[in-house]
Amino acid sequence: MSDAPDHSPTLAALSISDRLGQAMPYILIPVLVVLGFLAIGSTSSWLTLTVSGLAMGMMIFLMASGLTLVFGLMDIINFGHGAFISVGAFVGVSVLMAMGGWTTAPSLPLNLIAVLLAILAATLVTGILGWGFERVIVRPVYGQHLHQILVTVGGLIVIEQMIHVIWGPHEIFLTRPETFQGAITYWGAALEKFRLLAVVLGLIVFVTMRLVLRRTKIGLIVRAGVQNGEMVQALGYRLRLVFVGVFIAGSALAGLGGVMWGLYQEVITAGMGEEMMILVFIVVIIGGLGSVEGAFIGALLVGLTQNYIAFLEPKLALISNIGLMAVILMWRPQGMMPVVKAK
């Protein structure tokens, strides 16, 4: 009888370069901010641009997070996600307009309540819409990428046109609630109040999401489902239900992002969701499909790059996002933090 082959497991710590590779996406943001500072030179404009870049990134993250999770969990790419952004914006703005007096009053609590009510209405409506969308549009075409893309694009068109039917064909201009207008000056830099609100809100959502995903049972199931759905089902969890929940939550977040973006731009159109989808896709791709952290970092990168470049070289701003995507994909073809194995 021969001896068992030598088996001496080693528990070597990760080498420095491996660790650096893992941490690289996180380091990218401070590096970008510092580079931006060096390129811009003036502290006050750098601060303004950074805050607006962060605000934009946070809002894009709100819209992108749901999409990336839905993809990770069920391998479904929802091109109709943009419709929820538009619907959220329209519902939210309608609520704000209906409250009239509360938004024009120069009182912070009243304005805040008004905005919160608008957000609540928007997320509620888009959540319900997402539930219906999943049932009617997405469910019949599980597992067929080609048909998914076609059908969800069809759904996007129908919802967008329904917005035209309900709210009329023209864009709607709005004014932000009184206390969120204007800017505060800090270190000589003008920081728009609404952008600060967007940054705070985005951070709250990101932290909550991370807590739910990392600390709760449901988060555990979701993360496990992203990594290996069949195994989770084999262990007796009804992944379908979890998935529907994630789809609804993702749609509601898109609606929230839509309200914020509408208030940020102070104009809403039925096509806004479709336009935002382009940024959202870029974010999801460079972040790595299925990764919430990746989407967060990707969104901040896109927001910051766009703002810096628009200041430094306005002509390049149009293609800055595509350029960013090309660079990241050359570096990591799967995106920065891919969770879903390439299928």
The residue ranges that bind other proteins (CB under 8 A) are 77, 79, 137, 140-141, 145-147, 149-151, 153-158, 160-162, 164-165, 169, 274-275, 277-278, 281-282, 284-285, 318-319, 321-322, 325-326, 329-330, 333-334, 342-343
Cβ 15 to other proteins shortest distance, Å: 26
Q: How far is the CB of 244 from other proteins (least distance, A)?
A: 20
32/270 with CB nearer other proteins: 270
Cβ contact 296:61 at 8 Å: yes
- Report the largest interatomic distance among the alpha carbons of the chain, rounded to a whole angstrom: 90
Of 45 and 265, nearer to other proteins (C-beta) is: 265
CB of 335 to other proteins, least distance (A): 9
Other CB atoms within 10 A of residue 33 CB: 17
- Comparison of 266 and 275: residue with beta carbon closer to other proteins: 275
Cβ closest to other proteins, residue 154 vs residue 182: 154
Reported for 215-220, long-range contacts at CB under 8 A and 24+ positions apart, including other chains, are 218/242, 218/245
Give whichever of 108 and 326 is closer to other proteins, judged by the CB atom: 326
Yes or no: say if 290 and 338 are a contact pair by the CB < 8 Å rule. Answer: yes
Q: Which residues pair with 184 in a beta bridge?
A: 191
Q: What's the closest the beta carbon of residue 281 comes to other proteins, in angstroms?
A: 4
Q: Work out how close the CB of 164 gets to other proteins at its nearest, in angstroms, rounded to a whole number.
A: 7
Minimum distance, C-beta of residue 269 to other proteins, in the bound complex (Å): 14
Three-state DSSP class for residue 322: helix
Nearer to other proteins, 73 or 205 (CB): 73
Q: Which of 251, 299, 261 is nearest to 80 (CA)?
A: 251
Instruction: Quote the CA–CA distance of 195 and 315 in Å, as a whole number.
Output: 24
63 close to 206: Cβ distance less than 8 angstroms: no
